[in-house]
Each structure stands twice: as structure tokens, then as C-alpha cells.
Chains A and B, each alone.
Chain A
Amino acid sequence: MPTEPCSDVLSVDARARVALLRLVLLQRLFEERGLALYRQGRIAGSFYDGRGQEAVAAAAGLALGPHDVVCPLNRELATHLARGVTPADAFRNFLGRADSPTGGRDGNMHFGVPDLGVFPLVSMLGDLASVTVGAALAFRRRREARVALTFLGEGALSVGDTHEALGLAGVWRVPAVFVLQRNQYSYSTPLARQTVNTVLAERIQGGWSIPCETVDGTDALLTYEAIKLAVERARSGGGPQAVEAVTLRIHGHAAHDDGRYVPQELRDEYAGRDPVARLLGRLVADGVTADELDELRAGVAAEIAAGLAEAERSPPPDPATLEQGVWAAPPRATVVP
């Protein structure tokens, strides 16, 4: 099936288009490399990727300003990279190295770099929605023009915590942005078994009075424009905002899951809608030459290879350090003689 290029969204200039392409390619090539390492037994534990959802992760990362903060989930590597997390940092976390963002205390996408405004992912869906609201509350309290953003999948919308967070966001009118990753599945459970009203934007708008635009999440430019507008509305005092990005999770929940439960008709529907190919098609239509695109791709591939090599040189964590850092002020340090 021929791939239709991304929409020619006039508000997204050439520089942003290239930046988005670079980010989706980074996530795609990183995850392809990482999946191979996992299957070779060089990455332990589990391996989650965001194939098919790279455009949403890249768009959200690029839509944020330098002082904004974000709580990404499992399928948003490009969001981390947009914030300045390096491929080497991410590989170190997958490899469980001493100098990884979690120092080997956690693996795969379960990390964040707070200094770059990225909160570390926790597995319990919905928890980070309230953390995001709290960060946004701090901005509102201090009258700072900053925004906090997080992602919610369909599964998270079944979790009570999420609804508590959405309610608080509205009551406190905080500059929070929720990007709904509607990738059709929560592990193996399709959306129709997750909720009766499957029009998520309607639930968010009708239930919580939070404006929510629905976009094709395989179209990087449409998704970027929608999230960027939502971020700016939140920043300028418009209260919480949401964007529903519709995609298909191409791989299973994680590498152990072959996604056999996804019907072929749904796969066929997405066959010509790979977000990376669509964005490449857009840039070709824009007149970017094949040489330029090859150069960009080669640069990204080199960056991934160098990041992995750098991560593999990092030492493993020392078991003697295991008990360090449990508390910011360890008990003995608080003792007053």
C-alpha cells in the first residue's frame, strides 16, 4: 500500500519538520537496535517500544519549551531525546549500567532525568497524571509561564487515579497538557473492552471540561501542531488541555508479546501509515533531496551506534552501592548530637 505523506501543515516550518524527522528516526533506530540486543540476551528484563507511535512522542517533546517538564511513559523515547537525554543515557538504562539515569536501579524505559525536566516513569498507570498536575500547580502558584505534560493510554483512562488528576487539573486550572496515546490496545485488551464510550476526546471534554482535539497520530505535522497549540493555550492561562492522538501499537505490549490478538483488518488499515515513512514522504514532497535525507539518516544511525558503544563502555553498578540514595537525607545524617 502506498504511503501517504504527512499533511502539509503550514504552521510547521522546515526546521521543525527536519527536527521531527530526526527525532522519529532516533526512536525508530534506537528501538530496532535495542530489540535486537534484547533478543541476543544483551538487554535483560523486558523491552518496550513505541513502533507506530514515534510521531506522537517526537511531537510532544518538540512542542515543549526549554523550561517545561514532562512525564513520559514507555513508548515516548523521542520525548526524552527532545529534552536532551542522549541515546547513550537511554542505552545505559536498558543495559543497567552504573552511570545510567537510574544507576541500574531500574531498567528499560523506566527512567527520567529530573534535571532535564523529565520525571522518571513508574509502572502504575495514572500516577504520573497527578504528578504532572502537581508540577503544573507549582507553576501556577509561582506565576511561571511553564507547562507540564504527560501521556495517557486507553488503559490509564480506566484507572481512577487518572480521573482524580483530570478533576484536580480542572478545579485548580493548572497549565497541564495530557496527550492521549490512543494506540488501540492496553496490553491485549482492545479499547472497546476498556470503556463503553470509545471516543476519548468526548470523555475528556464532556467529563472534565478539558478541551481535547483528536488527531491522526501517524501524521507528525498534524500531531505537532495540535500539541503545540495545546501547550501554548495552557501556557497562556487557558487551563488544562488535551490532545487525542490515534495510532496503532505495531508491536506487542513488550518484546515477549507478538500481538497475535490484533485483527488483520486493523493491521491492514495501518499498513500504509507508518509515521516515519509518512514524514519522510512529506520532506520529499517539500523538495528535500534524497542525498540530504540519506545524510540525515546516516547521522542518526551514527549517533545510535556511538551511543550504544559509549553505553557499553560504562561499568556495571557496584553492589556495594545498593543501599545508597534510599533517602535524600539518610537517617544518620539527620541525627543531631
Chain B
Amino acid sequence: MPPDHAGAADEITYLEAVRSALADAMRDDERVFLLGEDIGAFGGAFGATAGLLDEFGDARVLDTPVAEEGFVGAAIGAAWMGERPVVELQFADFVTCPFDVIVTVAAKTHWRSGQAIPLVIRMPTGGGIRGGPFHAGSPEGWFVGQPGLKVVCPGTVQDAYGLLRAAIDDPDPVLVFEHKGLYRRLVGPRPAAGARTPLCTAAVVREGSDATVVTYGSGVAIALAAVDRLGADVEVLDLRTVWPLDREAVLRSLEKTSRVLVQQEAARSTGAAPHILSLVSREAFELLDAPPALHAPPDTPVPFAPELEDAYLPSVDSTATELERLLAY
């Protein structure tokens, strides 16, 4: 496999963690196979499957035609037959194409018939690479609240590996939103082979007592940096799975801090934030010392021009400013 960085031997990128998770899962379980566009000889648009064709062959690394609805549907059929298909969509924006089979077939089959559909769909999400309106979106919110699906958004190297392994083990359809801006920028200790990050559980990635930042995906590193910059005693809760939500983890943190900033890369009226804010207002109202705050991009598609995209995306600066405002209330 080609190296993606020249770091220490015991550190890998988020992208290498994804690739390792795929390779380890395929070594451990014959039922696991990959399908997607350009994932074979080319190694995938971002290189997540580089080298896997050589190791596993074209019966387990299937290049597909440009037919997302068709090959996601086919993955559902294979899952019905007991296989463990892992689909790659080239960009998360393209999930519009197989939306129908995901919500109509994958999400509802178990509830209607008792037949599990163990399907994983990986998709590079988010901005920061000047992708514009069709290659930089964060569409996870379309699936938050959809019964029958699980939606995960790894924000660390450890979880890029562990959430993907757990998703492949899981009997339900799991959508994995891998942040493309983190692929080569985020480096961390190499996860232990076989490590799993449990689904549907949030993690406190930094303890604190004055406020809680609830975030996920690209927001995790940004929130940690913002808290560091302020030198504040702030807790950072990484949701990891944005649907179904880990309700208890949010409430547990608010019992301690009484202030919450919900921060995400998805536009403010989509993503997981509206659901977190609904939960907080319904179930944590009496715990709060300040109105729940939201830091998320405006309700527009993702812009292309660097000046626009930089203004659009939450940054360490903008997150620190929002946090100061919340702490001063």
C-alpha cells in the first residue's frame, strides 16, 4: 500500500485507518466484499481501497458501472443472502442517487419482515478541498431520524478504523460518513488490529465542567483545538454515531456543565444539530444556565471559492468565538 505520509511508524492517517479496517475485515470474514466506482485498479477516488484488488482479487473488490441505485440495491440483495457487502460512494453528495433503495428497502426490511440487511455504505463527506456544491456536502442529516438505519461519522483515526469494523459486524444497514478533509490531514496512533468502536455510543474526548461542545466528524478536532486555544474547562463530546443518538451521553454531560454548544459542518438546519437541540430543550431544559448554542454553516449549499468556503465552514477561530460567547452568558 502506498504511504500517505512520512510520520512515525506507529502513526497512520485517517485514510490508512479506513483502508486497514477494510483489509482486516476482509481477512477475517470471507463474506465481506467491496463494491463501488473505480475502487479496483484505481484504488478509489481517494485511495481508500488502494492495493486491495491485488490482495483480494476482483471477486471481492468489484468495480461497478456508474449506477449507484443499482449497486446499492444489489448490495442489499447480497446482504439478504448473508454476504457482508461494503459499498463505496465516490462522494457523499452522490447518496442522492441511491437514496430510494436506502430508505425504502435497506431501512425498512427488518421491521417489515424480520430479515436483517447487514450493509455498509462508506462515503467521503464534507468540505475543505474546494469541492463546491456537489462534492463537499455533509448530507448525513437526511438520514438522521430514519428508522432502521445507523449513521456514523468518525472524527478520529481510532474511530475511522473502529467504527468501520463495528459497522461491518453490525446486522443493520450502516452509513459511514468519512470526512474527506481528514483523510490525509488527520494522523493518530495506529489502532490495534481488530479494535471496535461501539456503535450508538458517544465519547467524551475531553473532560470539562463549564460547558459541553457536542460535535462529530470534522468538528471533533476543531472543537478540541478551540478549547485548547481558550484554555477553557470545556467538555467535548464526540457523538461518533449521529443516529440513533446516544441520548444519555448528552444528558450526562449537561448535568455536569449546564451549557451546550452544538457544532457541526452540516448546514444549520440539517445534520444532527436540530435533533440534539430538540433533545436538550425537551429533556435538559432545567439543567441549563444558558440558551443552547448552535455553530454551523448557513443554510446554503457548500460554496466553491476559497473565500466563500472558508467563511462557510466552522473553524477553530469561529468555534472559539462561539464558545466564549456561551461561557460569558
B76 within 8 Å of A (CB atoms): yes
B213 CB to closest chain A CB, in angstroms? Answer: 22
A120 and B112: CB pair below 8 A?
yes
Could you say which of B101-109, B124-132, B215-223 contacts chain A? B101-109
A111 and B101: CB pair below 8 A?
no
A140 CB to closest chain B CB, in angstroms? Answer: 9
Residues of B with Cβ closer than 8 Å to A?
33, 59, 62, 64-65, 67, 69-83, 85, 100-101, 104-105, 108-118, 147-148, 150, 166, 170-172, 198-201, 244, 246
A303 CB to closest chain B CB, in angstroms? Answer: 24
Report how far A233 CA is from B171 CA in the complex, Å. Answer: 33
B77 and A112: CB pair below 8 A?
no
A325 within 8 Å of B (CB atoms): yes
A141 within 8 Å of B (CB atoms): yes
Report how far A139 CA is from B117 CA in the complex, Å. Answer: 17
A196 within 8 Å of B (CB atoms): no
Question: Interface residues of A toward B: which range?
Answer: 35 or more
Report how far A131 CA is from B98 CA in the complex, Å. Answer: 12
A251 CB to closest chain B CB, in angstroms? Answer: 25
Report how far A136 CA is from B143 CA in the complex, Å. Answer: 28
B191 CB to closest chain A CB, in angstroms? Answer: 16
Once A124-B100, A161-B101 are accepted as A-B contacts, the answer to whether A130 and B77 lie under 8 Å apart by CB is yes
Within 8 A of B (CB), among A82-129: 101-102, 105-106, 110-114, 119-120, 122-124, 127-129
A331 and B244: CB pair below 8 A?
yes
Within 8 A of B (CB), among A130-170: 130-139, 141, 148, 160-161, 164-165, 167-168
Q: Lowest 10 CB-CB distances: which A-B pairs, in order?
A: A134-B77, A130-B73, A164-B70, A134-B74, A138-B81, A164-B67, A328-B171, A328-B116, A114-B115, A131-B77
Q: Which of B65, B81, B82, B166 has its CB near the most chain A CB atoms (within 10 A)?
A: B81
A168 and B81: CB pair below 8 A?
no
Encode A160-182 as 1/0 by CB contact (under 8 A) with B. Answer: 11001101100110000000000
A214 CB to closest chain B CB, in angstroms? Answer: 25
A-B contact list, 25 entries, CB within 8 Å? A101-B113, A105-B112, A111-B112, A112-B115, A114-B115, A120-B109, A120-B112, A122-B108, A124-B100, A127-B100, A130-B72, A131-B77, A131-B101, A137-B74, A138-B82, A139-B81, A161-B100, A164-B65, A165-B70, A168-B71, A325-B110, A326-B111, A328-B118, A328-B172, A336-B201
B76 and A334: CB pair below 8 A?
no
B200 and A134: CB pair below 8 A?
no
Kindly report which residue of chain B lies nearest to residue A170, judged by CB atoms: B65
B111 and A325: CB pair below 8 A?
yes
B75 cross-chain contacts in A, Cβ below 8 A:
134
Kindly report which residue of chain A lies nearest to residue B115, judged by CB atoms: A114
B81 cross-chain contacts in A, Cβ below 8 A:
69, 134-135, 138-139
Report how far A49 CA is from B62 CA in the complex, Å. Answer: 39
B148 cross-chain contacts in A, Cβ below 8 A:
326-327
Kindly report which residue of chain B lies nearest to residue A148, judged by CB atoms: B77
A329 within 8 Å of B (CB atoms): yes
Report how far A46 CA is from B64 CA in the complex, Å. Answer: 38
Q: Which of B64, B113, B118, B244 has its CB near the most chain A CB atoms (within 10 A)?
A: B113
A335 within 8 Å of B (CB atoms): yes
**A137 CB contact (under 8 Å) in B77, B104, B105:** B77
A130 and B170: CB pair below 8 A?
no
**B83 CB contact (under 8 Å) in A141, A161, A336:** A141
Report how far A168 CA is from B75 CA in the complex, Å. Answer: 12
Kindly report which residue of chain A lies nearest to residue B69, judged by CB atoms: A161
Kindly report which residue of chain A lies nearest to residue B109, judged by CB atoms: A120
Report how far A269 CA is from B62 CA in the complex, Å. Answer: 48
A133 and B77: CB pair below 8 A?
yes
Kindly report which residue of chain B lies nearest to residue A162, judged by CB atoms: B70
A329 CB to closest chain B CB, in angstroms? Answer: 5
Once A130-B74, A133-B73, A134-B73 are accepted as A-B contacts, the answer to whether A329 and B105 lie under 8 Å apart by CB is no
A137 cross-chain contacts in B, Cβ below 8 A:
74, 77-78
B171 and A329: CB pair below 8 A?
yes
A235 CB to closest chain B CB, in angstroms? Answer: 15
A128 cross-chain contacts in B, Cβ below 8 A:
73, 105
Once A329-B170, A336-B198 are accepted as A-B contacts, the answer to whether A111 and B113 lie under 8 Å apart by CB is yes
A61 CB to closest chain B CB, in angstroms? Answer: 19
B199 and A133: CB pair below 8 A?
no
A334 and B199: CB pair below 8 A?
yes
A131 cross-chain contacts in B, Cβ below 8 A:
73-74, 76-77, 80, 101, 105
Kindly report which residue of chain A lies nearest to residue B118, judged by CB atoms: A328
A169 CB to closest chain B CB, in angstroms? Answer: 9
Report how far A82 CA is from B79 CA in the complex, Å. Answer: 24
Kindly report which residue of chain B lies nearest to residue A121, judged by CB atoms: B112
B200 and A334: CB pair below 8 A?
yes
B101 CB to closest chain A CB, in angstroms? Answer: 5
B170 and A135: CB pair below 8 A?
no
A141 cross-chain contacts in B, Cβ below 8 A:
33, 59, 78, 83
Once A133-B77, A161-B100 are accepted as A-B contacts, the answer to whether A120 and B115 lie under 8 Å apart by CB is yes
A120 and B100: CB pair below 8 A?
no
Kindly report which residue of chain B lies nearest to residue A144, judged by CB atoms: B81
Kindly report which residue of chain A lies nearest to residue B85, judged by CB atoms: A134
Kindly report which residue of chain A lies nearest to residue B117, judged by CB atoms: A328
A60 CB to closest chain B CB, in angstroms? Answer: 17
B69 CB to closest chain A CB, in angstroms? Answer: 5
**B73 CB contact (under 8 Å) in A129, A327, A331, A332:** A129
B170 cross-chain contacts in A, Cβ below 8 A:
329, 334
B116 and A171: CB pair below 8 A?
no
Kindly report which residue of chain A lies nearest to residue B68, judged by CB atoms: A164
**A168 CB contact (under 8 Å) in B64, B118, B147, B150:** B64
A130 and B101: CB pair below 8 A?
yes
Report how far A106 CA is from B111 CA in the complex, Å. Answer: 10
Report how far A132 CA is from B105 CA in the complex, Å. Answer: 12
